[in-house]
Amino acid sequence: MAVTLEQAQKVGYTCLKALLRFAFMVANNLVAIPSYVLYLIVLQPLRILDSKSFWYIEGVLFKWLLAMVASWGWWAGYTVVEWGDDVKAVSEDEAMVLVNHQATGDVCTLMMCLQDKGTVVRQMMWLMDHIFKYTNFGIVSLIHGDFFIRQGRTHRDQQLVLLKDHLEKYYRSRNRKWIVLFPEGGFLRKRRETSQAFAKKNNLPFLKHVTLPRLGATQVILKTLVAPQENGTPSAGDAVRKESKSKGLQWVIDTTIAYPKGEPIDIQTWILGYRQPAVTHVHYRIFPVKDVPAEPEALTNWLYQRFIEKEDLLTHFYETGAFPPPQGQTKAISREMTLSNLWLVAIQSFAFLSGGMWYCLFQYLYHCLF
């Protein structure tokens, strides 16, 4: 079939837009990430004198970096509508966020929709696949104190020990509040077949839109961060908690991400913007940590139940275009998440001005020394 002039113009425009967006993203990374690192190097004396202030500043810079990533999707028309519980109400408390995992765009979506949740973004810790350590954002996550987890049965036990040590060393010393993890342990398309075979073998529900979660990281986080009085679990982090006067982990936020027509947005789409504007839907349900069982078998069943509920939520969404109302209510209420374009332009301007400042400074030092 012959391509019309209008179709050719549309393809050309899409390719040109993608090319320009990619160039902007590269420039954005080249100024923002080195500036983040250099600011923190200069501030190392403050880290020694006043660690709390240092990590406060680091958190602000970290939030701005995530906002820049959010802006790439926001300006391409990829927006978010939120459903369920209002997580702003617990934004100052410690919480564990459990998220279903479909594509690389899940992380970008969270970077966007958590921007307006108070101090959450600058005080959060991410658990992500170790491969992200080798991306452009890896150095930022390493400095911030995120944890890179290596998947696979041969690494599992060692990784859980390392996770426990990491939480005890960094979580409260850097005043972290929320910890985000993807309990499925991989993308839906990669794990679905294996999960369904395991479910069939163990007489568990057949799931299409999510996979059965893994217990390990969730159990370690609860054991390490929950105060003993919350669910009766002896906590390995008691000494750290007393020192920081923390109440411990108080909430579990079950977060379900749904994409239009079940077609996830990946990081390439987020950057290049070649897909038509789309609305991603995010559903929250908050559980007090005292209602989460401590024993491994009971915790496994509780975690499985959360993902069975996610399956029901996603099935309803893909059939109707909306999440179902909470139990006992007749109508589900949604909230459109918004970002300020003025604020996004301001932080992007700060990044490019910072990049220019560091470049001029190094040029000056080079001429002075050589």
Strands 124-129 and 178-181: parallel
Using CA atoms, how far residue 64 sits from 111, 227, 265, in Å, is 10, 31, 22
Q: DSSP 3-state assignment of 60?
A: helix
- Read off the pLDDT of residues 128-177 as tens digits, 9 standing for 90 and up: 888 888 888 899 999 999 999 887 777 788 999 999 999 999 999 999 99
Q: DSSP 3-state assignment of 56?
A: helix
Which amino acid does the sequence have at 116? Answer: D
| Residue 59 structure tokens | 């958190």
- Which secondary-structure segment (H or E) carries 335? strand 334-337
Q: Is the pLDDT of residue 64 over 70?
A: yes
Flag whether 235 is in a domain: no
Flag whether 81 is in a domain: yes
- Read off the pLDDT of residues 95-113 as tens digits, 9 standing for 90 and up: 999 999 999 999 999 999 9
Flag whether 239 is in a domain: no
Flag whether 237 is in a domain: no
- Identify which of 98, 43, 73 has the alpha carbon closest to the alpha carbon of residue 217: 98
Task: State what percent of residues in the chain have pLDDT above 90.
Answer: 75
What is the CB neighbour count within 10 angstroms for residue 233? 22
Q: DSSP 3-state assignment of 28?
A: helix
Q: What gap in Å lies between CA 329 and CA 282, rounded to an integer?
A: 19
How many domains does the structure of the chain reveal?
A: 1
pLDDT at 252: 97
| Residue 211 structure tokens | 């996979």
Flag whether 240 is in a domain: no
Average pLDDT, rounded, for the chain: 90
pLDDT at 330: 82
160, 217 contact by CB (below 8 A): yes
Range of the domain at 63: 5-227+247-369
pLDDT at 240: 45
pLDDT at 152: 74
Flag whether 238 is in a domain: no
Flag whether 241 is in a domain: no
Q: Please report, for the chain, how many H helices and E strands are present, in that order.
A: 13, 8
Flag whether 234 is in a domain: no
- Identify which of 67, 180, 54, 62 has the alpha carbon closest to the alpha carbon of residue 125: 180
Please report which confidence band the pLDDT of residue 354 belongs to, taking 50, 70 and 90 as the band edges: very high
pLDDT at 4: 79
